[in-house]
Amino acid sequence: MNIVLIIGIMWHIYILKCSDGSLYTGITTDISRRIIEHNSSPKGAKYTRGRRPVKLVYKENLENKSEASKREIVIKNMSKFEKLKLINLWI
């Protein structure tokens, strides 16, 4: 009997603090790569390209893209104060 394990790709929701103090929220499967892109590549979000350098201040791991997207919407709808409270819980 052969057993096949299917390992799903882990998705991450993250918040970056930009050089101007603003916060950027996104999702990815590879946080390290994405932060490098935000800081030094044209593949970084248009929003962060003019606000470099950015720093990771929060992340959550989620099971799939759907869950990550849903959580991203929730976080993006938070006030900056609420986001800062969330970040402080993570630190």
Query: What are the domain boundaries of the chain?
Result: 11-90
Decide: 62 and 71 in contact? Cβ < 8 Å: yes
* Pair 57, 13: CB distance under 8 Å: no
Task: Assess whether pLDDT exceeds 60 at residue 6.
Answer: no
The pLDDT score that the predictor gives to residue 5 is 53
Tell me which of 3.40.640.10, 3.40.1390.10, 3.40.1440.10, 3.90.226.10 is the CATH number of domain 11-90: 3.40.1440.10
Residue 86 · residue 75 · CB < 8 Å:
yes
pLDDT in tens, 45-75: 999 999 999 999 999 999 999 999 999 999 9
Q: How confident is the model at residue 90 (pLDDT cuts 50, 70, 90)?
A: confident
pTM to 2 decimal places = 0.89
pLDDT of residue 23: 98
Whether the ω angle into residue 42 lies within 30 degrees of 0, i.e. cis, is no
